[in-house]
Structure 1
């Protein structure tokens, strides 16, 4: 932590170091936790830093609010983050958190745990699994589980979860496109031709772009080549 403080002092023009310093401080003493809160608040409200960094700071503040059971403040902080222009991955993350905070179905608690539970509780794959068990017809739970299984290299299980997510339906905001792209990779690595074809169909479906269609064509060509 001392080294990171020195880095922050030596590079004041790089505010991300302050964000990372807060990550170390937040698990420390009450005084250190208060310092983390102050650092993240300063970054979140600073219009001179990038919008993506501000959104990251708001997310961290939201997790603090969630950890003390302050759901209205958690919602307000994620709402402020969603007002900022961020890249598609960041937007999808914030949209998923927003969905979780407002979902009233049986999987709501598990979804909120996935995004906001403090360390020392279940890990992300377990929260995602709990969401699918609590509400099997909710696509987002299967989507999150599929992403986690992909991260661990369990390609067949990931493909099955992502395929189920697409079949169940996903929120607007690019989730279906991302699920289809991830499904194609997982299914191909698992040798699951049928689910690669499902991904291709999804990438050619309503609301997809020319880029999605080109990606679908590329996967179709791979399947044709492998079949020779």
Structure 2
């Protein structure tokens, strides 16, 4: 995400939530004292930012139901092959092909790889609004399945990617072995980030997310093998 968009998101966030100036500078890439602290939890390697000058980690907790910005300002909802079946049935479709035709769209976008290169991602995405088009991909859209109380109308059959927030995840080849990595998404939309001298407050959260993140990666890898998505280096 471009810095201008993050700045705009932070401005909206500050209308309701107090944002730590240190974290704000970090999200706007104004800090030069950031180091990566990798920690292996289960089958996932989490990359937690550490601010050297502050001697503190950047951690996270969820403020739902007071906050549901992740659903109010959604960028895209890529689906796994399991999602296509589960959500399609939940929306009363008898055929997956009809669900795909009416409720999804195919979109491609570019992501930065951990090695500094770029990856072109293509996936089948759940429409966040009924009339969504490819031009809306990557823009902030309120998910149509979010109710007035901030709950998901699809839950627990919501897209697997929704369970990852606020983490992003990727697979890396480590001497022939696929390693699952994960780090936070810093889009400026979430009020849950905070500074801590220890990782202890997040240990249980990381254990829970490690299972979810690993499971999602395996499902998404299978989804690509089945032809519902692809990724390629450019």
The two structures have a TM-score, normalised by structure 2, of: 0.23
Q: Please identify which structure carries the higher strand content.
A: 2
The structure whose Rg is larger is 1
The two structures have a TM-score, normalised by structure 1, of: 0.23
